[in-house]
Amino acid sequence: MKLEQLPASKEAKARKRVGRGPGSGMGKTSTRGEKGQLARSGGGVPAWFQGGQSPLYRRLPKRGFNNKRFETKYATINVGELNKLFNDGDVVTPEVLKERGIVKKQLSGIKVLSTGVIDKKLTIKAQRFSSAAVSKIENAGGKAEVI
């Protein structure tokens, strides 16, 4: 076997030089064809593009960790509603609210919000209170107790 009979290696092969005139056989369109998106400078689509159909990464369901499932959700009720539904001197607890059907689901507890006017002395027991709700309840002569 002689040296010139060895198969050519990749290192020895000259790179393709496009756009160097008609004599090279790769002039004019420089192997890009005639017209279209791929013939333009800067043209082409990303490797993940799927021709306008909904892409794979959007078709697959979301997976992995998310803190949202550990979020504490409270059933809310306004002091204005409590004023309408209870009499002066009543004790309002989450159990009473559930019995009467005022609150459907207690979730992680009940939060009392300040929307509305309260003028009755109510003792309200709940897991959370907004600061404005506490001041309205106490101004009416009632108590806001955190369970």
The percentage of residues in the chain with a pLDDT greater than 90, rounded to a whole number, is 35
The closest alpha carbon to 106, from 114, 97, 115, belongs to: 97
For residues 97-136, b (16+ Cβ closer than 10 Å) or e, as one string?
Answer: beeeebbeeeeeebbbbbeeebebebebbbbbbbeebbeb
Give 79-93 pLDDT, tens digit per residue: 988 888 888 888 989
The predicted pLDDT at position 107 comes to: 82
Indicate the domain borders of the chain: 74-146
For residues 93 and 95, give the distance between their C-alpha atoms in angstroms, rounded to a whole number: 5
pLDDT reading at 111 higher than 90 = yes
Global pTM? 0.55
What's the CATH architecture for 74-146? Ribosomal Protein L15; Chain: K; domain 2 (3.100)
